[in-house]
Homo-oligomer: A and B are copies of this chain.
């Protein structure tokens, strides 16, 4: 494995959700590299049917934070219920996550930058649009860019986390940011320097639970 590979894998394996962000500004050159990383991502037909609104205006950030607070409040009821059925270290871990998420719920508006990811479905070939199950394919031309931006944040030691809860307030966000009728939002990503340790160890299923050999459910031996 070359050095190049291991540096890339280092970023991926330590990209964790960072939810406690200091209000300190992100230098322009750092922000530029994060946005450039997103711009490099592949999209269907190389159409790049996404845009990102970089929100640094204090009043607009506050308005978005005010929309997020009650959405997180509502959503977190379920997360707290799940907690009741947990014990020991998994429960303690979940409690720490919820405390950090509650902090974000209160303070999203004071992150130095909110990245609001937009997409235009008219510029996408959504091959699963007419199926009876939920469509996801449109996401294939925007979330790859989002992941590039997250990995760049990691590499730049900038904390980040993606939330899709603000889709519930899409009309208000569109009005606030002047997003045209045929563009929509698919995520808001507060980014900034971390209050605590920031990025670090992550907890994920092993490959053996996620990848199968030739048949769904068939163990793969690598």
A147 in complex: contacting residue of B143, B210, B214, CB < 8 Å: B143
How far is A45 from B219 in the complex, measured between Cα atoms in Å?
25
Whether the pair B222, A35 counts as a contact (CB closer than 8 A) is yes
A194 lies within 8 A of chain B by Cβ = no
How far is A28 from B220 in the complex, measured between Cα atoms in Å?
10
Contacts of A207 in B (CB 8 A): 32, 35-36, 39
How far is A34 from B114 in the complex, measured between Cα atoms in Å?
31
A69 lies within 8 A of chain B by Cβ = no
Report the copy number of this chain in the oligomer: 2
Whether the pair B216, A186 counts as a contact (CB closer than 8 A) is no
A140 lies within 8 A of chain B by Cβ = yes
Interface band, chain A: 35 or more
Whether the pair A167, B11 counts as a contact (CB closer than 8 A) is no
Whether the pair A216, B139 counts as a contact (CB closer than 8 A) is no
State how many angstroms separate the Cβ of A123 from the closest Cβ of chain B.
11
A104 lies within 8 A of chain B by Cβ = no
Contacts of A218 in B (CB 8 A): 178
A146 lies within 8 A of chain B by Cβ = yes
- 29 A-B pairs (CB sep. < 8 Å): A4-B155, A8-B37, A9-B40, A12-B37, A12-B40, A13-B40, A15-B40, A16-B42, A35-B207, A36-B207, A39-B205, A39-B207, A44-B164, A48-B205, A48-B210, A53-B214, A53-B216, A119-B136, A133-B184, A135-B136, A137-B187, A138-B139, A140-B143, A143-B143, A144-B147, A151-B151, A177-B214, A177-B215, A178-B215
